[in-house]
Amino acid sequence: MTGRKSESIPRYRMVLTDDGSLTLYSSEFDEAMHSSSGAYDEAVRKHIIPSGILGHQKEEVRVLDVGFGLGYNCLALLQEMARLEWPMFTKIISLERDSSALPHLKEIRFHDSRDALYRTVLHALEFGAYVDERYSLTITKGDARESIQALPRAHFDAIFQDAFSPAKNPELWSVDYFREMARIITPSGILTTYSCARHVRKAMLEAGFSVGKGPAVGAKREGTIASLSEVIAMLTEQETTQLLASPGIIFFRDPDLRDSREHILIRREDEMARVKQGHQVHG
């Protein structure tokens, strides 16, 4: 945990985004949960569509949402399922460290069919789960690194990686974390994220994923998609080789998946300093 903010500073505040949907600004992480260009639109275009989840033809489709936040990824998936009258049962597990934002979320209105679905999403956050004949939504609270280790191998058809940014939330962007993601995703499953950081992509490659470019949304740059198989449009061989071969691209390490945020950041800074010093010595 980083240094405490003053108790006089609200933990969250509402921010209106360009598509008319609200997001929350976190004083702990000093950043908003979504792009200012459109919070709900980001969920649809960065996660639901590129994940290809609605193209699956299985009796049960399984989705992992890392970083519940406002619940927009879950809501967008449910809304698209309803719009398409999608017949497959969908099992969603969303990971969230705490539910302290719930009072703010209860104030959110879309003034359309999403409101009824959003109430079921918030029910799951408040009580742990919501189940009906079309889908189940379970919220697992606590450190996501611990939660994912209890999840079964090759289980999820899609993973929405939607934690706070790597610089602010490095514990959910390490190579060791992505190795767990590779363990729990199905061979043809797709992981989606808004980040296109080179060290994040390199960590994914080191963890066993094939990596491709995700869509750009609003002012944000392109995202990243990843899979264990070639079901995605991958980076070129040259781009992949450059990522893996460059000693200056240093990813986060968290070998036991329990180090503090500060420790993970310092470990990377130390490794970067050693690489830089090595270049100077041999320069």
Q: What share of the chain is helix, strand, coil (3-state, %, to 5)?
A: 35, 20, 40
Segment 29-56, tens digit of pLDDT: 877 777 777 789 999 999 999 999 999 9
Q: What is the CATH number of the domain that holds 237?
A: 3.40.50.150
pLDDT interval class at 158 (50, 70, 90): very high
| Percent with pLDDT over 70 in the chain | 94
The whole-angstrom separation of Cα 109 and Cα 227 is 35
Q: Does 11 map to a domain?
A: no
Q: What is the pLDDT of residue 1?
A: 39
Identify the pLDDT of residue 282. 54
pLDDT at 230: 87
CA separation for the pair 266, 249 (Å, rounded):
15
Task: Report yes or no on 44 lying in a domain.
Answer: yes
Whether 110 has a pLDDT exceeding 50, the answer reads yes
Instruction: Decide if 236 is inside a domain.
Output: yes
Q: What is the reported pLDDT for 220?
A: 64
Residue 220 lies in a domain: yes
Q: For residue 262, give Cα distances in angstroms to 7, 97, 251.
A: 21, 18, 15
Q: Which residues pair with 92 in a beta bridge?
A: 63, 137
Does 267 fall in a domain?
A: no
Structural domain count of the chain: 1
Could you give the CA distance from residue 158 to residue 169 in angstroms, rounded to a whole number? 21
In a domain, 157, yes or no: yes
pLDDT computed for residue 254 by the predictor: 98
pLDDT > 90? residue 283: no
Residue 151 reports pLDDT greater than 80: yes
Instruction: List, for residues 73-94, the tens digit of each pLDDT value.
Output: 999 999 999 999 999 999 999 9
As to burial, measured by CB atoms within 10 angstroms (0-12 exposed, 13-18 middle, 19+ buried), residue 109 is: exposed
> How is residue 61 written in tokens?
């489709």
**Strand locations in 85-172, DSSP E?**
89-96, 129-131, 135-141, 156-161
In a domain, 214, yes or no: yes
In a domain, 258, yes or no: no
Model confidence band, residue 174 (pLDDT cutoffs 50, 70, 90): very high
What is the pLDDT, as a whole number, of residue 32?
74
Contacts of 116 (CB under 8 A, 6+ apart): none
Q: Which domain holds residue 223?
A: 39-246
